[in-house]
Amino acid sequence: MRHYDCKNYINLDCEKGLCALCKAVVPISGQNSEACANFKAADKCGNCKNFSNPDNHGIGTCTGLEKENWSYSTMNACTCSGYEAR
Ligand code: SF4
Ligand code: SF4
């Protein structure tokens, strides 16, 4: 798990973000990108109970909305009415 996948991560640019909890600037990937003990999974389709069968590109099936459809596991779900944390 990485800072990037954490609910406390605020994106700054394509390389780094800010931790809303400790206020540190943290990298998206590479060295020091591993999450800390305060990690809390961000609301993303991949963390939703209604997301299933992702392929090797992270594209899976959403069954949480009116009509079944495909979705990306990394898609931000903070505004989705069907989101249910796993
Ligand atoms: S809480 Fe920990 S894992 Fe989450 S963004 Fe802050 S430093 Fe990273
Ligand atoms: S219900 Fe929303 S958050 Fe859940 S998989 Fe479908 S689109 Fe994503």
Tens of pLDDT, residues 35-81: 999 999 999 999 999 999 999 999 999 999 999 999 999 999 999 99
CATH of domain 43-86: 2.20.70.100
pLDDT at position 6 is 95
- Ligand 1 atom nearest the C-alpha of 35 is 3
pLDDT at position 23 is 97
pLDDT at position 73 is 95
pLDDT at position 57 is 97
Please answer whether residues 70 and 56 qualify as being in contact, where contact means their C-beta atoms are separated by less than 8 angstroms. Answer: no
Ligand 1 pocket test, candidate residues 21, 32, 33, 47, most atoms within 8 A of CB:
21
CA of 9 to the centre of ligand 1 (A): 6
pTM for this entry = 0.80
Of 65, 70, 78, 73, nearest to 47 by C-alpha is 73
Fold entry, domain 1-42? Ubiquitin Ligase Nedd4; Chain: W; (2.20.70)
pLDDT at position 82 is 97
Name the pairing type of β-strands 16-19 and 9-11: antiparallel
CA of 31 to the centre of ligand 2 (A): 31
